[in-house]
Amino acid sequence: MTQLRVNRATLWIGSDVYQLRTIARVRSLVSEPDRAGVTRAIGRAAAWLVGWLVLLCCAGQADAPTGVIVFASLIPLGLAAYSGWTAFRIATRATQYALVLETTGAPSAALVSTDGAMIDHLVGLIANAIENPPAREIVQNIDNRKLVFGDEINMKGDGIQIGKVVRGG
């Protein structure tokens, strides 16, 4: 559980503090999982299975020993299983919503969640606090979160994942 607190001058998200007067923009971003990646992963799994069937036919024609056929089958079956697992992971990945604070410095995602309504509510709360600082401190308890506090870049493409995590300055 993390607390978001807003008072007349500051915004607290967990233990990070932002001066309200330095926040230039607050917004939410949506990150959808790569649903087309499911189709690509299933296609790769099907290709490995077809390759395995071709291997079995060729091995049967050449009267290869059973041990060699079993050993040679491990590679395409393992790769097909891995492609199927990748398809499952992509299909079950949830949409992520980020609360992005742009200060006089660089923008940073302060909070990432699967609850888009909560992120939109927090954007409105912070925007209202910038315009009209509250007389009393506002406290929101936040569940279902992934705190970021700084740069977090994850680029994904065709089964390869490249990541860069920079915390602080």
Determine the Cα–Cα distance for residues 23 and 125; give it in Å rounded to an integer: 13
First-residue to last-residue Cα distance in the chain: 26
* Average pLDDT along the chain: 81
Residue 80's CB is within 10 A of a number of other CB atoms, namely 19
The predicted pLDDT at position 109 comes to: 66
What are the tens digits of pLDDT across the range 82-95?
999 999 998 888 88
DSSP secondary structure code for residue 34 in this structure:
-
Residue 147: what pLDDT? 53
pTM: 0.64
Using one digit for the tens of pLDDT, what is the confidence trace for 98-127?
888 888 777 676 788 888 898 899 999 999
Q: How many CB atoms lie within 10 A of CB 119?
A: 24
112: tokens are: 């990432």
